[in-house]
Protein backbone atom coordinates (compact mmCIF):
# COMPACT_ATOMS: atom_id res chain seq x y z
CA UNK A 1 0.00 0.00 0.00
CA UNK A 2 1.20 3.49 -0.71
CA UNK A 3 1.86 5.97 2.09
CA UNK A 4 -1.26 7.57 3.51
CA UNK A 5 -3.73 5.56 1.40
CA UNK A 6 -5.58 4.02 4.36
CA UNK A 7 -8.12 6.14 6.24
CA UNK A 8 -8.01 5.27 9.98
CA UNK A 9 -11.32 7.00 10.69
CA UNK A 10 -13.12 5.13 7.92
CA UNK A 11 -11.52 1.85 8.99
CA UNK A 12 -12.57 2.34 12.62
CA UNK A 13 -16.22 3.05 11.79
CA UNK A 14 -16.74 -0.68 12.35
CA UNK A 15 -14.16 -1.04 15.10
CA UNK A 16 -16.22 -3.47 17.20
CA UNK A 17 -17.04 -5.78 14.31
CA UNK A 18 -13.47 -5.78 12.99
CA UNK A 19 -12.07 -6.49 16.46
CA UNK A 20 -13.84 -9.78 17.22
CA UNK A 21 -11.52 -11.97 15.09
CA UNK A 22 -8.58 -10.29 16.84
CA UNK A 23 -9.80 -11.36 20.26
CA UNK A 24 -10.52 -14.89 19.06
CA UNK A 25 -7.00 -15.09 17.61
CA UNK A 26 -5.50 -13.72 20.82
CA UNK A 27 -7.25 -16.49 22.78
CA UNK A 28 -5.28 -19.09 20.79
CA UNK A 29 -1.90 -17.63 21.77
CA UNK A 30 -0.10 -19.41 24.62
CA UNK A 31 1.26 -16.74 26.99
CA UNK A 32 4.93 -16.86 27.94
CA UNK A 33 7.00 -14.81 30.34
CA UNK A 34 8.64 -11.66 28.91
CA UNK A 35 7.42 -12.18 25.38
CA UNK A 36 8.89 -10.33 22.42
CA UNK A 37 6.03 -9.67 20.00
CA UNK A 38 5.64 -8.29 16.50
CA UNK A 39 2.22 -7.20 15.21
CA UNK A 40 2.30 -7.12 11.41
CA UNK A 41 0.10 -4.45 9.81
CA UNK A 42 -0.83 -2.99 13.17
CA UNK A 43 -3.04 -0.28 11.66
CA UNK A 44 -4.09 2.45 14.11
CA UNK A 45 -2.56 0.61 17.06
CA UNK A 46 -5.49 0.20 19.43
CA UNK A 47 -5.54 -3.59 19.11
CA UNK A 48 -1.75 -3.76 19.30
CA UNK A 49 -2.11 -2.18 22.73
CA UNK A 50 -4.57 -4.93 23.70
CA UNK A 51 -2.12 -7.54 22.41
CA UNK A 52 0.76 -6.05 24.40
CA UNK A 53 -1.11 -5.69 27.69
CA UNK A 54 -3.12 -8.90 27.32
CA UNK A 55 0.02 -11.02 27.03
CA UNK A 56 2.05 -8.87 29.46
CA UNK A 57 4.77 -8.69 26.87
CA UNK A 58 8.23 -7.35 27.55
CA UNK A 59 8.39 -5.67 24.17
CA UNK A 60 5.88 -5.27 21.34
CA UNK A 61 6.49 -3.57 18.01
CA UNK A 62 3.70 -2.77 15.62
CA UNK A 63 4.67 -2.79 11.93
CA UNK A 64 2.79 -0.88 9.27
CA UNK A 65 3.57 0.79 5.95
CA UNK A 66 0.91 3.49 6.00
CA UNK A 67 1.80 6.91 7.39
CA UNK A 68 -1.75 7.80 8.46
CA UNK A 69 -2.12 4.56 10.39
CA UNK A 70 1.29 4.97 12.04
CA UNK A 71 0.51 8.56 13.03
CA UNK A 72 -2.56 7.27 14.86
CA UNK A 73 -0.67 4.31 16.34
CA UNK A 74 2.16 6.44 17.74
CA UNK A 75 -0.37 8.23 19.93
CA UNK A 76 -0.82 5.04 21.97
CA UNK A 77 2.89 4.13 22.17
CA UNK A 78 4.23 3.44 25.67
CA UNK A 79 7.49 2.09 27.11
CA UNK A 80 7.77 -1.41 25.68
CA UNK A 81 5.20 -0.70 22.96
CA UNK A 82 6.37 1.09 19.85
CA UNK A 83 5.65 1.29 16.15
CA UNK A 84 7.84 1.14 13.07
CA UNK A 85 7.34 1.69 9.37
CA UNK A 86 8.05 -1.38 7.24
CA UNK A 87 6.50 -3.42 4.47
CA UNK A 88 5.13 -6.65 5.90
CA UNK A 89 5.69 -8.29 2.51
CA UNK A 90 9.43 -7.89 3.06
CA UNK A 91 9.70 -7.81 6.86
CA UNK A 92 11.92 -10.20 8.82
CA UNK A 93 13.11 -9.93 12.41
CA UNK A 94 16.60 -8.65 13.20
CA UNK A 95 16.23 -10.48 16.53
CA UNK A 96 14.13 -13.63 16.93
CA UNK A 97 10.77 -13.01 18.56
CA UNK A 98 8.34 -15.14 20.57
CA UNK A 99 5.21 -14.23 18.63
CA UNK A 100 4.47 -12.97 15.14
CA UNK A 101 0.85 -11.83 15.20
CA UNK A 102 -1.21 -10.51 12.31
CA UNK A 103 -4.93 -9.79 12.27
CA UNK A 104 -6.67 -9.29 8.91
CA UNK A 105 -3.57 -8.28 6.97
CA UNK A 106 -1.55 -11.09 5.37
CA UNK A 107 -4.12 -11.44 2.59
CA UNK A 108 -2.54 -8.32 1.05
CA UNK A 109 0.68 -10.30 0.48
CA UNK A 110 1.08 -12.80 -2.35
CA UNK A 111 2.78 -16.21 -2.12
CA UNK A 112 1.90 -17.33 1.40
CA UNK A 113 4.25 -20.31 1.17
CA UNK A 114 7.32 -18.08 1.08
CA UNK A 115 5.75 -15.51 3.39
CA UNK A 116 5.05 -18.02 6.17
CA UNK A 117 8.48 -19.61 5.78
CA UNK A 118 10.08 -16.18 6.30
CA UNK A 119 7.91 -15.49 9.33
CA UNK A 120 8.81 -18.89 10.80
CA UNK A 121 12.49 -18.01 10.48
CA UNK A 122 11.87 -14.93 12.63
CA UNK A 123 10.60 -17.00 15.57
CA UNK A 124 12.46 -18.09 18.65
CA UNK A 125 12.70 -21.79 19.57
CA UNK A 126 9.29 -21.70 21.30
CA UNK A 127 7.94 -18.99 19.01
CA UNK A 128 4.34 -18.84 17.83
CA UNK A 129 2.75 -17.63 14.62
CA UNK A 130 -0.82 -16.35 14.88
CA UNK A 131 -2.59 -14.86 11.89
CA UNK A 132 -6.11 -14.39 10.57
CA UNK A 133 -7.14 -13.62 6.99
CA UNK A 134 -10.57 -13.12 5.43
CA UNK A 135 -11.94 -15.26 2.65
CA UNK A 136 -12.54 -13.47 -0.63
CA UNK A 137 -15.83 -14.99 -1.75
CA UNK A 138 -18.31 -12.63 -0.07
CA UNK A 139 -20.76 -10.57 -2.12
CA UNK A 140 -18.76 -7.43 -1.27
CA UNK A 141 -15.46 -8.84 -2.56
CA UNK A 142 -17.02 -10.38 -5.65
CA UNK A 143 -18.76 -7.12 -6.50
CA UNK A 144 -15.50 -5.15 -6.24
CA UNK A 145 -13.71 -7.67 -8.47
CA UNK A 146 -16.54 -7.59 -11.02
CA UNK A 147 -16.35 -3.78 -11.25
CA UNK A 148 -12.55 -3.94 -11.58
CA UNK A 149 -12.97 -6.33 -14.50
CA UNK A 150 -15.10 -3.84 -16.44
CA UNK A 151 -13.92 -0.99 -18.63
CA UNK A 152 -12.67 1.63 -18.13
CA UNK A 153 -11.40 0.24 -14.84
CA UNK A 154 -9.79 -2.89 -16.25
CA UNK A 155 -7.49 -0.79 -18.42
CA UNK A 156 -6.88 1.85 -15.75
CA UNK A 157 -5.99 -0.85 -13.22
CA UNK A 158 -3.91 -2.81 -15.74
CA UNK A 159 -5.91 -5.91 -14.88
CA UNK A 160 -5.44 -5.61 -11.09
CA UNK A 161 -8.06 -7.25 -8.88
CA UNK A 162 -8.46 -7.76 -5.14
CA UNK A 163 -5.37 -9.76 -4.16
CA UNK A 164 -6.96 -12.07 -1.53
CA UNK A 165 -8.83 -13.84 -4.31
CA UNK A 166 -5.43 -15.19 -5.36
CA UNK A 167 -3.44 -15.09 -2.12
CA UNK A 168 -5.67 -16.68 0.54
CA UNK A 169 -5.51 -20.48 0.73
CA UNK A 170 -8.07 -22.98 2.00
CA UNK A 171 -7.87 -24.04 5.66
CA UNK A 172 -6.65 -27.49 4.58
CA UNK A 173 -3.84 -26.03 2.48
CA UNK A 174 -2.77 -23.81 5.37
CA UNK A 175 -2.68 -26.86 7.65
CA UNK A 176 -0.49 -28.81 5.23
CA UNK A 177 1.77 -25.83 4.64
CA UNK A 178 2.22 -25.08 8.33
CA UNK A 179 2.99 -28.74 9.05
CA UNK A 180 5.61 -28.74 6.30
CA UNK A 181 7.15 -25.65 7.91
CA UNK A 182 7.49 -27.46 11.23
CA UNK A 183 4.39 -26.30 13.09
CA UNK A 184 3.34 -29.56 14.72
CA UNK A 185 0.85 -27.92 17.08
CA UNK A 186 -1.62 -25.85 15.16
CA UNK A 187 -5.21 -24.61 15.16
CA UNK A 188 -6.53 -23.91 11.68
CA UNK A 189 -10.20 -23.09 11.27
CA UNK A 190 -12.76 -21.25 9.18
CA UNK A 191 -15.22 -19.09 11.09
CA UNK A 192 -18.15 -16.96 9.98
CA UNK A 193 -18.74 -13.74 11.93
CA UNK A 194 -22.38 -12.61 11.80
CA UNK A 195 -22.74 -8.82 11.95
CA UNK A 196 -25.91 -6.76 12.03
CA UNK A 197 -25.36 -3.49 10.16
CA UNK A 198 -27.74 -0.55 10.05
CA UNK A 199 -28.58 -1.07 6.37
CA UNK A 200 -27.03 -2.14 3.08
CA UNK A 201 -25.50 1.33 2.79
CA UNK A 202 -23.30 0.30 5.72
CA UNK A 203 -21.70 -2.37 3.51
CA UNK A 204 -20.44 0.43 1.24
CA UNK A 205 -18.94 2.20 4.25
CA UNK A 206 -17.33 -1.07 5.34
CA UNK A 207 -15.80 -1.56 1.89
CA UNK A 208 -14.52 2.03 1.77
CA UNK A 209 -12.44 1.30 4.88
CA UNK A 210 -10.89 -1.92 3.57
CA UNK A 211 -11.78 -3.74 0.35
CA UNK A 212 -11.81 -0.68 -1.91
CA UNK A 213 -8.61 0.85 -0.54
CA UNK A 214 -6.21 -0.78 -3.04
CA UNK A 215 -8.33 0.57 -5.89
CA UNK A 216 -8.06 4.05 -4.40
CA UNK A 217 -4.29 3.62 -4.45
CA UNK A 218 -4.22 2.70 -8.14
CA UNK A 219 -6.78 5.11 -9.61
CA UNK A 220 -6.91 8.86 -10.01
CA UNK A 221 -9.33 10.64 -7.64
CA UNK A 222 -11.93 11.06 -10.40
CA UNK A 223 -11.59 7.45 -11.59
CA UNK A 224 -11.81 6.17 -8.02
CA UNK A 225 -14.96 8.22 -7.38
CA UNK A 226 -16.45 6.64 -10.52
CA UNK A 227 -15.35 3.19 -9.30
CA UNK A 228 -17.02 3.73 -5.92
CA UNK A 229 -20.23 4.96 -7.56
CA UNK A 230 -20.31 1.88 -9.80
CA UNK A 231 -19.59 -0.41 -6.86
CA UNK A 232 -22.29 1.29 -4.77
CA UNK A 233 -24.93 0.94 -7.47
CA UNK A 234 -24.05 -2.73 -8.00
CA UNK A 235 -23.85 -3.80 -4.35
CA UNK A 236 -27.04 -1.95 -3.38
CA UNK A 237 -28.86 -3.79 -6.15
CA UNK A 238 -27.49 -7.17 -5.06
CA UNK A 239 -28.15 -6.83 -1.31
CA UNK A 240 -31.57 -7.12 0.37
CA UNK A 241 -33.30 -4.04 1.79
CA UNK A 242 -33.33 -5.47 5.33
CA UNK A 243 -32.83 -3.04 8.23
CA UNK A 244 -30.83 -4.10 10.11
CA UNK A 245 -28.88 -6.04 7.50
CA UNK A 246 -27.37 -9.44 8.30
CA UNK A 247 -23.77 -9.22 7.08
CA UNK A 248 -21.69 -12.40 7.48
Identify the three-state secondary structure at position 31: coil
In which band, very low, low, confident or very high, does the pLDDT at 1 lie, cut at 50, 70 and 90?
A: very low
pLDDT digits (tens, 9 = 90+) for 19-46: 889 999 999 999 999 999 999 999 999 9
Per-residue pLDDT, 209: 81
- State the Cα–Cα distance between residues 29 and 40, nearest whole angstrom: 15
pLDDT digits (tens, 9 = 90+) for 199-239: 998 888 888 888 888 898 899 999 999 999 999 999 999 88
pLDDT digits (tens, 9 = 90+) for 131-150: 999 886 678 888 998 999 99
In which band, very low, low, confident or very high, does the pLDDT at 15 lie, cut at 50, 70 and 90?
A: low
E strand intervals along the chain: 36-40, 59-64, 81-85, 97-103, 123-132, 195-197, 245-247
Q: Is the pLDDT at 5 greater than 90, yes or no?
A: no
Amino acid sequence: MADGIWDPDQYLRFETERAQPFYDLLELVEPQVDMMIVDLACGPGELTTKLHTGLRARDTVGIDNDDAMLDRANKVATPGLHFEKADMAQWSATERVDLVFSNAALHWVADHRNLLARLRDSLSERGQLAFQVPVADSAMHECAMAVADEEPFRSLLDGYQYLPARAVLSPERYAYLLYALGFRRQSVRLQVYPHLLESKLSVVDWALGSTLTPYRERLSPDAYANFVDTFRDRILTDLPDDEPLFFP
